[in-house]
Amino acid sequence: MINIPSTIKISFKSLRVNKMRSALTMLGIVIGVGAVITMLAVGSGASQRIEEQISSMGSNLLMILPGATTAGGVRMGMGTQPTLSMDDTEAIQKECPSVLYVAPIHSGIAQIIYGNQNWSTGVVGTTPSMLYIRDWQLEQGRPFTEEDVRNASKVCLLGQTVIDSLFGSINPVGQIIRIKNIPFTVIGVLEKKGQSPMGQDQDDTIYIPVTTAQKKLFGTAFPGMVRLIMVKAQSKEDLNAAEKQITELLRQRHRIGQKQDDDFTVRNLTQAMQASEQSAKVMTLLLGAIASVSLLVGGIGIMNIMLVSVTERTREIGIRMAVGAKTWDIRLQFIIEALTLSLIGGAFGIIIGISGSKVLSMIAGWPTIVSPLSISLAFSFSGIVGIFFGFYPAYKASLLDPIEALRYE
């Protein structure tokens, strides 16, 4: 029968005899576990930031862009030929059952003035539905209404970046700003959104009624023209149906022949954003896999030291066998030594990994998330590495002939 307590005691005593060697052997595992935890923390942080940015954009989104124009035989990019109108927006809302909300957008860049402060930003002309499409709440004030749209009222909603740039600590609600030298009353403040998945500051914007943008700020190539249309489908499952319904409706309204190309483009923003989210998850796995290589290198270091230890302790092994130690007593002794090295190294590696993640987050400004799962995986993997790479030296030690081992000098 294997004497486990005695075997464990002998293993720990052996490790204490060679403290420096044991510490250097553990260093590979410490670095490996620390690297795995840090890389997974960076990847998880990046994934969470992308998820937050995606949710800030809204859900179940479609974007309808106008067509491309051709000049001198050169086909320009999407949006260069104005083909969308307010009538298209109303038709989509009424005739496409898979669509929940529709909002036209007529936008441009304008100089904003308040007192002696000025700021250049994007001004978006739209309808009240836009706040529902973007899942955008108001921090204070009120949204503009359909009546404001019908009357082309000179009212606006401000993003947080605009407020910080123009007002500082002053409450902007009720204040008058000038957009292209036209006075507008601030009626509400948009909740902070942060960056979009494309890196744009979503808070550096001003919302005004779409008719005000058309008639008083940016003009139109034809009555009711809009630069693009945003659509929110009834659900994620309805996105493809909504896209098909919109395409068929707009082809019919724009009198596009069967063999003619569309003079508009419908983009599924949800699919594009989900692809970004999936890329972040793949990056997390890749970072973890790369960091795991250092753990394997640490495991090879353990095996190397254990093989050296077997050679050095050949006579000791022979004496233990001569006084009755079984084959598995010898194997278990060296496996326990390897496992102890890897687990102690893993414990220190966890401390290094958590500390490294926090330091990296502070220095580089990256979000990092150390999850209990990543700690458990890294620690468990270090134990498996210890057993795996410790088995061969243990197996080799157990095969020694007791008589030959006792003669070994």
* Cα–Cα nearest to 195, from 53, 290, 377, 24: 53
Q: What is the DSSP letter of 87?
A: H
pLDDT at 105: 93
How many Å apart are CA 345 and CA 22, to the nearest integer?
Answer: 10
Three-state SS for 183?
strand
pLDDT at 126: 94
C-alpha distances out from residue 280 to 257, 337, 354, 366, 404, Å = 42, 39, 21, 14, 58
How many Å apart are CA 131 and CA 141, to the nearest integer?
Answer: 14
Q: What single-letter amino acid sits at 393?
A: P
How many Å apart are CA 24 and CA 21, to the nearest integer?
Answer: 5
Q: Torsion-angle region of residue 173: left (phi > 0), alpha (psi -120 to 50) or beta? A: beta
Q: What single-letter amino acid sits at 346?
A: G
Burial letters for 203-235: b for 16+ Cβ neighbours within 10 Å, e otherwise? bbbbbbbbbbbbebbbebeeebbbbbbbbbbbe
Q: What single-letter amino acid sits at 294?
A: S
Residue 258: half-sphere exposure toward Cβ, Cα within 13 Å:
0
169: CB partners within 8 A, 6+ apart:
none
Q: What is the DSSP letter of 88?
A: H
Burial letters for 395-404: b for 16+ Cβ neighbours within 10 Å, e otherwise? ebbbebeeee
How many Å apart are CA 142 and CA 144, to the nearest integer?
Answer: 7
Burial letters for 108-143: b for 16+ Cβ neighbours within 10 Å, e otherwise? eebebbbeeeebebbbbbbbbbbbebbebeeeebeb
Helices (H), 210-268: 210-212, 239-253
Burial letters for 178-201: b for 16+ Cβ neighbours within 10 Å, e otherwise? ebeeeebebbbbbeebeeebeeeb
Contact 192, 133 (CB under 8 A): no
pLDDT digit of tens for each residue in the chain (409 aa)?
Answer: 455 676 667 667 777 777 788 888 888 888 888 888 888 888 888 777 766 666 556 668 888 988 765 444 444 445 457 889 999 999 999 999 999 999 999 999 999 999 889 999 999 999 999 998 888 889 999 999 999 999 999 999 999 999 999 998 889 999 999 999 999 999 999 998 877 666 678 889 999 999 999 999 988 888 888 999 999 988 888 888 998 999 999 999 888 888 888 888 888 876 666 666 677 777 777 777 777 788 888 888 888 888 887 777 778 777 877 777 777 777 887 788 888 888 888 889 999 989 988 888 888 777 788 888 888 888 888 888 888 888 888 878 777 777 676 666 5
pLDDT at 239: 85
Other CB atoms within a 10 A radius of the CB of residue 28 amount to: 25
pLDDT at 234: 87
- CA 385-388-392 angle, 5° bins: 140
**What stretch of H or E contains 383?**
helix 372-398
How many Å apart are CA 359 and CA 235, to the nearest integer?
Answer: 41
Query: What is the maximal distance between C-alpha atoms in the chain?
Result: 105
pLDDT at 273: 62
Q: What single-letter amino acid sits at 366?
A: W
pLDDT at 48: 73
154: CB partners within 8 A, 6+ apart:
182, 183, 184, 185, 208, 212, 216
pLDDT at 40: 83
pLDDT at 185: 94
Three-state SS for 124?
strand
